[in-house]
Amino acid sequence: MRNYALIVLVAAIVTYLACRIVYPLAMKHGWHPPVRERDVHSTPKPRLGGVAMYLGFVVAIVVASQIEQFHLVFGQPERVWAIVGATTLIMGIGVLDDFVDLDWMTKLGGQMISAVILAWQGVAITSLPIGGLTVGSPLMSLAFTVLAVVLVMNAVNFIDGLDGLVAGIALIANGVFLLYSYFLSAFAGQTGRFTMAALISAIIIGMCLGFLPINWNPAKMFMGDGGALQLGLLMATSAVAVTGEVDPMTIKSEQFLPAFLPIVIPFAVLIVPLLDLTMAVVRRMSAGKSPFSADRKHLHHRLLDMGHTQLRAVLIFYAWTAVVSGGALLAFVLEDAWIALVFVTVGFIICTAFTVAPISRRKARELRAQKTPTLLDESDDPLDSQGEAQADTIRRALPRYAAKRQARQTSSISDTPSEAETA
């Protein structure tokens, strides 16, 4: 595990230092697009964090190639070059889109080409670890791989709307996936713990750790499409790589749950992006729009509209990701499944309570407003601060409040010593 920690550290340091170089350059030369209607920030900010993250990725790959324990990973250099090439392509397309706003067909075409590059060099879905199920043909393997990679890329890109949101979710998800990939070989009866899937997860963790300081609320720089699509590609690559690194026939038949979890965990760690993607596609297609058309109805927008602050909304997303992915990992590593069930159940209850908290507070304010006499100025909403202040003024002027106030004043006067008593 120390070698993975070293890769995380290298990727984090390089990404952070690159951010400290890219940000002032972008501000000096005005490399920041105008604020869009759907954006939650009010001032233009650079979206070149993906460039810094890419540098962290490349340097981490170079360092890993010099570590003896990763010799099996780099024993197939064509796979490594395919990952580097696909990542370079999608990062370039994303950065270009951040500046010139490419049409959705061009972006989708670039995503599909990146996925094809991976599948062409063997980073493809070849087997599913459920009862020895294998993909029937190279063409089917290619189709499944392209679909999975494009799906994850867009899912990650769709939720990139709040400071620190994507980087934090990717950090949590890949932390879980790194542990899962590390332990999976033991369940499969293999001795090697150094795999492509685990290596990519470690690199992603480092990239996100290095980028978060400059992307934390209030953010100085965003990762942009170049960063979000890059993270999505690498996360999909890590999940796809698992299917080619574990022989499904080596998993014992009595280990049904561990055998099934390789399918569940990649979806579990991406539950929030995939849910947002599904809702967005259904919503837009139901309205007769392109599934790639932009709007302001993503999950993070809805949390803001409920009354959450940016930071609170981001932390809620973190919590949901940790509960779902952590529960799946516990089910994988623990023999007692009830522990994972209790963890997920308690986590769901707590996360739900914090998610709907603004609704509960608003309901309380609505009940107060219903008991408030009609306002003199109907332009004031009894639910906002100005309306509440006016409502308080009206309540104080009512006869029963005036009588209580007079009684308190009389009691105060009677309790005050007279001049004779003080003499």
Average pLDDT on 22-47 reads 77
Of 57-71, 148-162, 267-281, 400-414, give the lowest mean pLDDT range. 400-414
Task: Check: CB of residue 31 under 8 Å from CB of residue 208.
Answer: no
Segment 324-379, tens digit of pLDDT: 888 888 887 777 878 889 999 999 999 888 888 877 666 666 666 655 555 444 44
Of 25-34, 71-80, 194-203, 347-356, give the lowest mean pLDDT range. 25-34
Tokens of 109: 């075409």
Confidence at residue 379, expressed as pLDDT on a 0 to 100 scale:
45
Nearest to 230 by CA among 305, 186, 166: 166
Segment 299-335, tens digit of pLDDT: 777 888 777 888 888 898 899 889 988 888 888 777 7
Confidence at residue 328, expressed as pLDDT on a 0 to 100 scale:
83
The backbone torsions φ and ψ at residue 254, rounded to the nearest 5 degrees and listed phi first, read: -75, -10
Burial annotation 178-203 (CB, 10 A radius, 16+ → b, else e)? bbbbbbbbebbeeeebbbbbbbbbbb
Task: Check: CB of residue 50 under 8 Å from CB of residue 225.
Answer: yes
- Cα distances (angstroms) measured from residue 9 to each of 14, 172, 212, 392: 9, 16, 14, 56
Average pLDDT on 31-52 reads 76
Between 15 and 46, the more confident residue is 15
Segment 275-291, tens digit of pLDDT: 877 887 788 788 777 77
Q: Residue 254 pLDDT more than 50?
A: no
Q: What does the chain come to in residues?
A: 423
Confidence at residue 423, expressed as pLDDT on a 0 to 100 scale:
44
Average pLDDT on 140-156 reads 87
Report the alpha-carbon distance of residue 274 to residue 269 in Å, rounded: 10
Confidence at residue 422, expressed as pLDDT on a 0 to 100 scale:
46
Confidence at residue 363, expressed as pLDDT on a 0 to 100 scale:
62
Report the alpha-carbon distance of residue 298 to residue 284 in Å, rounded: 11
